Amino acid sequence: MLQFMKTRKIIYYLVVLAAFGIFISGCKKDNNSSTTTTPKFTGQQLDQVENSDVQDAIAEKTDQDIDKSIDQLQVSNYQPSTAKSLSATGSLVITVNHPDSTTFPKLISLVYTNFQDSTAFESFVKNGEIDVLVSLNGTDKQLVTRAMTFKHFSVTTDSTTFTINGVRTMMRMARSFKFNGAAGARFTATDNITANLSYAITKTGVSDTLKFTRVVSRLRKAYLHYDNYGGILWRFARFRTNLSKDTISISGTVTGINEKGDSYTKTVSASTPLLVTFYLGTPIITSGILDYTVTGTSAASFTVTFKEDPNHPRNTLITATNNTTLAVTTFDRRFSRKFRKWW
């Protein structure tokens, strides 16, 4: 009988130990199941987003430089200036068939030869020709349409050459002047911009060429500043852009075919436009949100936000979120970032 009781106690203790072991094991499994891993961008996704931003940076900088040159020409009554920025290298030759403020339409030609007059820290060299047909939208000679044709125009950075062909049209919908005595003027403009452009990309030291397209439908609101360097009397006034004071707001869509051959859409809402300022000719996006969607074999969806980098002032900080995995990556915008084949 005693032996039987001891056996029952041993069995009882074994059952208790087994139950305790199961409980501990269950707790470990619960703890393990609650552990989460922070999602990360894959190397391909990072290259895809960075390539996309380089495309935008090159295209938007090119557009802004061209618009700046023609806006300056317009406020000077379409009389080309021989003055050149002290930091400029190469040459930009502007010719106008009717260099006055009354005759329209007029044809403007911009011919660039190894020309660089902008960007604070990076190479941005322009070559080639752009022809601009300027016509009136009505009776107001400041409200014009500019139809620009790119003729093997190219931009070369430290690592890549982008060759641009196609057409871009800017229709000025509204404008106003505010004079600052005889010192200068502020010109406010609202422009509808459309474009159908193709880009060929040649990396330095690489023989193959990648291509992408941009079909643009955007609204640009600009506050442009000009200094009078001609004379105190307004009939002697001559104007030079003062980029350090300019601000630009951009919204709308860009669609096209990316470098892999897939369709993409980039949308900037009017409620969260890209707000742009300038430092030594370099555009800095201080705020804004862009929705970036790719379909096809490289299908993906990203939300891209912009602001001035608090740790690197005078740089645009990009934050991209993968809308599927919620992975996040950040980087500073650079024109000279190497363009990578990521697939």
Q: State residue 54 phi and psi, 5-degree precision.
A: -60, -40
pLDDT at 221 over 80: yes
- Interval 156-184 mean pLDDT: 87
Q: State residue 266 phi and psi, 5-degree precision.
A: -125, 125
Distances, alpha carbon 172 to alpha carbons 134, 147, 242, 337, in Å: 11, 11, 21, 33
Q: Is-contact 250 273, C-beta < 8 A?
A: yes
- Give the separation between CA 12 and CA 216, rounded to whole angstroms: 79
Q: Which residue has the higher pLDDT, 251 or 187?
A: 251
Share of the chain above pLDDT 90, in %: 56
Q: Which residue has the higher pLDDT, 36 or 78?
A: 78
Residues 244-268 have pLDDT tens digits of 788 999 999 999 999 999 999 999 9
- pLDDT class for 281, splitting at 50, 70, 90? confident
pLDDT at 284 over 90: yes
DSSP letter at 236 equals G
How confident is the model at residue 15, as a pLDDT? 45
pLDDT at 297 over 50: yes
Residues 4-41 have pLDDT tens digits of 444 455 545 444 444 445 444 444 444 554 567 889 99
Q: Which residue has the higher pLDDT, 209 or 2?
A: 209
Q: For the chain, what are the domain ranges?
A: 43-332
pTM as predicted: 0.82
Q: Is-contact 339 200, C-beta < 8 A?
A: no
How confident is the model at residue 120, as a pLDDT? 63
Q: Name the amino acid, one letter, at 269.
A: S
Q: Let me know if 147 is exposed, middle or buried by CB neighbors in 10 A (0-12, 13-18, 19+).
A: middle
Q: Count of CB atoms within 10 A of residue 40's CB?
A: 13
How confident is the model at residue 173, as a pLDDT? 94
Average pLDDT, the chain: 85
